[in-house]
Chains A and B, each alone.
With several copies, the nearest count.
Chain A
Amino acid sequence: MIQDAFGLIFTGEANPYMRDLTLSRAVAAVPFGGRYRVIDFVLSDFVNSGIRNVGIITQKNYHSLMDHLGTGKEWDLNRKREGLFLLPPFSTKDNTGVYRGDIDAYHSIMQYVRHSNQKYLILSGSHTIFNTTFEKILAQHKETGADITIMYNEDASFDPEEQNRDLRLLFDEDGMRVKELEWYPRYPRSNFRSCEIMIIDKALFEDLVEESYSRGGIDFVRDILLTHVHELNIMGWRYDGYVARIDSVNTFFRHSMELLNAPEAHDLYNREHPIYTKVKDEISAKYGEHADVHNVVMADGCKVDGTVENSVLFRGVTVERGAVVKNSIIMQGSKIRAGAKLDHVILDKGVTVTEGRMLNGFEGLPLVFRKNLTV
C-alpha cells in the first residue's frame, strides 16, 4: 500500500467527439460498464493502491460529478483529514470561473498540493480506464530517480478525427527514458500512448507549474513536458493490462462491446481490485416469462421480458415483452416499450423508447439519444 503519494485527477470539459453523451456532464461522469462512471476506475485504482488523499479538479458541468462522488463514502474517502477533495473552479477576483487550461487549474489549487503531506504526486486525467494499482510504477519512479514517470501502453489504434489528449512516447535505446513526445500527432511515430498517469515529485510539480504559469503557459503537456523534454528526466512505465480510452462515441461504443467479446476487457471487473461506485440500493435484475437474453452485461434493477443480445444494460433498465435490443448500450432507467426494436443504439439515462419504435444505428456509427428523451 502506498503511503507517500497523493492523487490529483483533472476532469476536463465535455469532449466534442462524445456528442450528446457530454451534453451536461464531463467525460469523467459518463456512465460506463453497466454500473460505473468513467472516473470510478481511476479513483478506485487510487484507493486500491492505498492512497487516501485525492483531489479532483472539476470544471463547468461538475454537478453530475459532484452528485456522483458525494462525500466519497463509497470509496472510503470521507475522512476527517485528507480523503476526497472536490476542487471546483473558484469564482474569485483572480479568476473568471473557467480555466483556460490545466496549468491554470493546477495554479489555482496549488494550496491543496502544498498542504498535502505526501512527497509524490500521481497526476491523472479522466478519460482513460484501466484496473491496476500504482505500487509498481511508484517503485520504478523511486528506483530510477526519474523527474517524471509516465504510465503508457501499446495501442495501435489511431483515428485523427477522434484524438483526445493523445500523448505518445518515443524512447531512447534503453527503452525507458523518454527522448521525444508527440502531442496530437498527425502521423504518429509511436504506438506507446500515455495512460494519463504521471508521477512527479510534488515540489518539482509546483516549480514547473508556477514557472510556466508566470510565463503564460496553459497546457501541462504542451507548455511543460514538450518544452522541457530534453532537460527533464522523463521515464515510461509500461502497463500491459487492458486500457480503454473514451475519446469519442465510437471508442466508447467499441470498448463497451469489448466487455462482451474481448476476454482481456474482463480485467476491468477484476475481483481483487474492486471498482467502487455510488450505491443505488437496486434490487436484483428480474427476468420475465418471455425473456430471451444472450451475451449481455446487466446491472441490478433491470426488468427484462423481451429479447436482449450483445448489449450492456445499466441499472434499472426496463425491456418490455416483445421488445428487441441488439448491439446497444442502454443507460440507467431507460425504458424500451413493447415491440420496440433497437440495434447499434446508445440510450443515455432515462430515455423512453415508445411502443413499436424502430431505432437503427450502424457499425461505426451508433445512434445516440440524449438524456430523458422520449422517442
Chain B
Amino acid sequence: MKKRIVCMLLAGGQGSRLGVLTSSMAKPAVPFGGKFRIIDFPLSNCVNSEIDTVGVLTQYRPLALNAYLGTGQHWDLDRNNGGVFVLPPYMTEHDGRWYSGTANAIWQNRSFVDQYDPDYVLILSGDHIYKMNYTKMLRFHIDHKAAATIAVLKVPMEEAHRFGIMNTDETGKIVSFEEKPKQPKSNNASMGIYIFDWKKLRDYMERDDADEKSENDFGKNIIPNMLNAGEKMVAYPFEGYWKDVGTIQSLWEANMDMLGDPPLLDLDDPSWRIYTRNPVMAPHYVSKEARIKNSLVTEGCVVRGEVEHTVLFCGAKLEEGGKVFDSVVFPGSKIGRNSIVHKAIIGENATIGDNVLIGEPPKEGEVIDNRLTGDIALIGNDVTIPDGTVIPRGAVVTQETLSQFVNGGTNA
C-alpha cells in the first residue's frame, strides 16, 4: 500500500573504529545512555515523526539485529502495513554483492522501497545521537519544491574541516558542497540526513550504478551529480544536540553529555520518547556501603561500591570496595571487589575480577596503542580480566590482547 515517505536507515558495517564493542552486533546496536542502543534514536525519531516504514540496511550480523528489532513492537513499528525490516545484502541466483557504498545499499533494495510507492524517501545514518522531527524537514522539502533536502548543523568554524560542508545562498539553496574542505567557506555541516524525491533519486542511483568509476556514495557521487545537473537542493537548518558516535572518544563523550544537569540531550522527554527494547529486570539495588553521585544507574544493576560520573547499563554489578569514575559500563558487566575503574568503557558482559586497576597512568617505558581511544581504556565485550590485573589508560583489551596486560600486571 502506498506510503508518502519511507525511511532507509544506513546501519552500516562492523564499525571498525568501535570494533571491540561490535563483536556480536552491528554498530547501531552499541549501547548508549544507560538504557538505549544507538539505533533506538533514528527509529524513535521516525516513529515520533509518524514515519512507520523503515528499512534497516546492514551488512554485518543481520540476524542479531533482526533478533533485537523483533516484530518492531518496542518502537511501535509492528504495523499491518509497513514496519521495520532488516535488509542485508542478499545473494540472488545470478549475483550478490556487498554494499559497495551508501547509495548502492539503497539501490540494491530499491524493490523494497518500490513496494510502498512512496513520494519521498528519508535516508538516515545509524550512528548519530539526536532528536529530530523529520516531518518538519519533509514540510520544508515540500515547501521548497526541492529535489533533495539535506539537514545541516552549524558547527564551530574551526571544526568545519572535519565535515561535509554545504554552501548555500540566502534562500537556503545549496550552491556547492565540499567534503572535509581545508578552507571551509561556511560552517553548515551535513548531518547525513537526506530527503529525496524517490523517483528522482531512483534515476540518479540508476545512472550512478551504471558508472563503473563511481564509489556509489551519497556524499561523493549522488549529491555532487545532482548539484551538477542543476537539481534544486536545499539545506534544512537543525538546531540542538547532535553527535556522531562513530569513535570511542565521541561515544564516551556523548555518554558523559547525558550526565550534566540538565543533560545536553533530554532523554526523558514525554513529547519525544526514545523507545528501546526494555530488558526484563528487577529495579536496581544499592547496598548500605554504596556511594553514587552524578551517575545514571539502570534496572538490574547491583551497586555495592562507589560510582561517580558514570553510566551503568542494565544488569551491571559493582562489588564492595570497587570504584568507578568517569566511565561507561555496558549491560551485564561485572566489576569485582576493590577494583578501580577510571575513564573507561567496559564492553557488554565483560567480567572485571577483584583488585583490578583500569585507566592507570602507564608505567615507565610502557607503550600503549591508543590511536583509537586517546586516554579512554576500553575493555571488549565478553572479556574476563583476572584478579589483580592493571590496565593502563588508553589501552584496548580484547581476548587477544589480554595476555600482555595480565603478565605485566601487579597488584596495586
Task: State whether the Cβ of A345 lies closer than 8 Å to any Cβ in chain B.
Answer: no
Query: Considering the complex, which residues of chain A in the window 259-273 have a beta carbon less than 8 Å from any beta carbon of chain B?
Result: 268-269, 271
Cβ–Cβ contact B294 & A288, under 8 A = yes
Cβ–Cβ contact B35 & A291, under 8 A = no
Task: State whether the Cβ of B293 lies closer than 8 Å to any Cβ in chain A.
Answer: yes
Cβ–Cβ contact B283 & A33, under 8 A = yes
Cβ–Cβ contact B293 & A291, under 8 A = yes
Q: Which of A80, A289, A300 contacts B261 (CB 8 A)?
A: A289
B32 to chain A, nearest CB (A): 11
Task: State whether the Cβ of B296 lies closer than 8 Å to any Cβ in chain A.
Answer: yes
Known: A1-B4, A281-B276. A35 touches B292 (CB 8 A): no
Query: Which residues on the B side are within 8 Å of A295 (C-beta)?
Result: 286-288
**1/0 per position for A168-200, CB-CB distance to B under 8 A?**
000000000000000000000000000000000
Q: Smallest CB-CB separation from A310: which chain B residue? A: B288
Cβ–Cβ contact A297 & B285, under 8 A = yes
Cβ–Cβ contact B268 & A285, under 8 A = no
Cβ–Cβ contact B283 & A287, under 8 A = no
Q: Which of B35, B74, B267, B299 contacts A35 (CB 8 A)?
A: B299
Q: Which of B33, B135, B281 contacts A274 (CB 8 A)?
A: B281
Query: Which residues on the B side are within 8 Å of A279 (C-beta)?
Result: 74, 278
Cβ–Cβ contact B282 & A33, under 8 A = yes
Known: A81-B76, A274-B281. A299 touches B299 (CB 8 A): yes
Task: State whether the Cβ of B187 lies closer than 8 Å to any Cβ in chain A.
Answer: no
Query: Which residues on the A side are within 8 Å of B33 (C-beta)?
Result: 283-284
**A300 and B281 alpha carbons, distance in the complex (Å):** 10
Cβ–Cβ contact B80 & A285, under 8 A = no
Task: State whether the Cβ of B86 lies closer than 8 Å to any Cβ in chain A.
Answer: no
Q: Which of B76, B280, B281, B294 contacts A80 (CB 8 A)?
A: B76
**A218 and B403 alpha carbons, distance in the complex (Å):** 72
Query: Which residues on the A side are within 8 Å of B286 (C-beta)?
Result: 293-298
**A78 and B50 alpha carbons, distance in the complex (Å):** 15
Task: State whether the Cβ of B402 lies closer than 8 Å to any Cβ in chain A.
Answer: no
Task: State whether the Cβ of A114 lies closer than 8 Å to any Cβ in chain B.
Answer: no
Known: A79-B76, A281-B278, A298-B286. A287 touches B297 (CB 8 A): yes
B74 to chain A, nearest CB (A): 8
Q: Smallest CB-CB separation from B75: which chain A residue? A: A80
B76 to chain A, nearest CB (A): 4
Query: Which residues on the A side are within 8 Å of B307 (C-beta)?
Result: 287
Q: Smallest CB-CB separation from B310: which chain A residue? A: A287
A282 to chain B, nearest CB (A): 8
Query: Which residues on the B side are within 8 Å of A291 (C-beta)?
Result: 292-294
Q: Smallest CB-CB separation from A75: which chain B residue? A: B80
Q: Which of B282, B293, B313 contacts A275 (CB 8 A)?
A: B282
Cβ–Cβ contact B280 & A276, under 8 A = yes
Known: A291-B293, A296-B285, A298-B297. A73 touches B73 (CB 8 A): yes
Task: State whether the Cβ of B81 lies closer than 8 Å to any Cβ in chain A.
Answer: yes
Known: A73-B73, A300-B35, A300-B298. A285 touches B290 (CB 8 A): no
Please give the residue numbers on chain A whose beta carbons come within 8 Å of chain B beta carbons, in ascending order.
Answer: 1, 3, 33-35, 52, 73-74, 76, 78-81, 268-269, 271, 274-276, 279, 281-301, 312-313
* Given A282-B268, A297-B283, 8 new contacts (CB under 8 A): A35-B282, A52-B50, A283-B296, A284-B313, A285-B296, A285-B298, A294-B290, A297-B285
Please give the residue numbers on chain B whose beta carbons come within 8 Å of chain A beta carbons, in ascending order.
Answer: 4, 33-35, 50, 73-74, 76, 78-81, 135, 261, 267-268, 273-276, 278, 280-299, 307, 311-313
Task: List 27 A-B pairs, Cβ < 8 Å.
Answer: A1-B4, A33-B282, A33-B283, A76-B80, A80-B76, A81-B76, A81-B273, A269-B282, A274-B280, A275-B280, A282-B35, A283-B33, A283-B267, A284-B34, A284-B313, A285-B296, A285-B297, A287-B296, A291-B292, A293-B286, A294-B288, A294-B289, A297-B282, A297-B284, A298-B285, A300-B283, A301-B268
